[in-house]
């Protein structure tokens, strides 16, 4: 099963039909994906399932219905075990960004973390999960697929948010601060912290 966030609400892609009743079920093959996304953005739908019988075909089918934007990002630790966060648009987030032509996803993630925060001396320590969310750019809804990496940096300076990307601040935060910070973050970011068992 995949979880795609639309306006921070979950859209579940599944090959199983469960007995739950507090959601709407749509057939992935025939759904008008844009209409569904608009309804979620308008708060007319809180939670929806997209059903497709073949689990291997689910993501491929969704990608055939909506333009895809690929991104790489980092969950970056320093020597003190703190995590690098950015603050933008009233929300805490992790540094990430879109791939450039001919760039592999690891290079994207490393470059974006450095550009958005000024933190360098980065080393990928392991591959984390992918997250999925829908955003709107120039009137078009797109599916952003972000591949996350756990990283380590022994950078000694002070992180600086990339102003042209609207990043108000970039800071190291301790595990103690995580629960509070994640209340003002995105659902797909919370998934990473659940996977890493930080919170």
pLDDT digits 0-9 by tens, 102-136: 999 999 999 999 999 999 999 999 999 999 999 99
Spatial CA neighbour of 83 closest among 185, 14, 7, 187: 185
Q: What is the pLDDT of residue 117?
A: 98
Q: What is the pLDDT of residue 197?
A: 63
CATH 3.90.79.10, the chain: domain bounds: 72-196
Please report where in the chains the tokens 């805490």 appear, as a residue: 92
Least confident of 6-20, 73-87, 110-124: 6-20
Q: Has residue 10 got a pLDDT over 80?
A: yes
Least confident of 143-157, 161-175, 183-197: 183-197
Q: Has residue 33 got a pLDDT over 90?
A: yes
| Cβ-proximal residues to 50 (8 Å cutoff; 6+ apart), any chain | 11, 12, 13, 14, 26, 27, 28, 31, 58, 62
Question: pTM of the full predicted structure?
Answer: 0.91
CATH of 72-196, one of 3.40.47.10, 3.90.79.10, 3.40.50.720, 3.30.565.10: 3.90.79.10
Mean pLDDT of 149-161: 96
Q: What is the pLDDT of residue 21?
A: 65
How many helices (H) and strands (E) would you count in the chain?
A: 5, 11
pLDDT tens sequence across 35-70: 999 999 999 988 899 999 998 999 999 999 999 999
Least confident of 67-81, 106-120, 127-141, 182-196: 182-196
C-alpha distances in Å from residue 69, one per residue of 2, 21, 66, 95, 133: 17, 32, 10, 16, 10
């Amino acid at each position: 099963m995949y979880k795609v966030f639309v306006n921070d609400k979950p859209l579940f892609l599944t090959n199983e039909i469960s007995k739950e009743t507090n959601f709407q079920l749509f057939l992935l093959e025939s759904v008008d994906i844009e209409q569904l996304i608009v309804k979620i953005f308008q708060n007319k739908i809180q939670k929806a399932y997209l059903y497709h019988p073949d689990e291997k075909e689910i993501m491929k089918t969704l990608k055939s219905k909506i333009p895809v934007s690929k991104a790489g990002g980092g969950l970056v630790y320093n020597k003190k075990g703190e995590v690098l966060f950015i603050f933008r648009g009233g929300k805490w987030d992790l540094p990430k960004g879109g791939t450039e032509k001919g760039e592999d996803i690891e290079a994207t993630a490393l470059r974006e973390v450095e550009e958005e925060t000024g933190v360098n001396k980065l080393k990928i320590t392991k591959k984390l999960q992918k997250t999925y969310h829908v955003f709107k750019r120039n009137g078009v809804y797109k599916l952003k697929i972000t591949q996350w990496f756990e990283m380590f940096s022994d950078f000694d300076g002070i992180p600086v948010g990339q102003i042209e990307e609207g990043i108000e601040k970039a800071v190291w935060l301790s595990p103690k601060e995580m629960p509070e910070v994640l209340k003002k973050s995105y659902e797909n970011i919370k998934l990473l912290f659940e996977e890493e068992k930080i919170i």
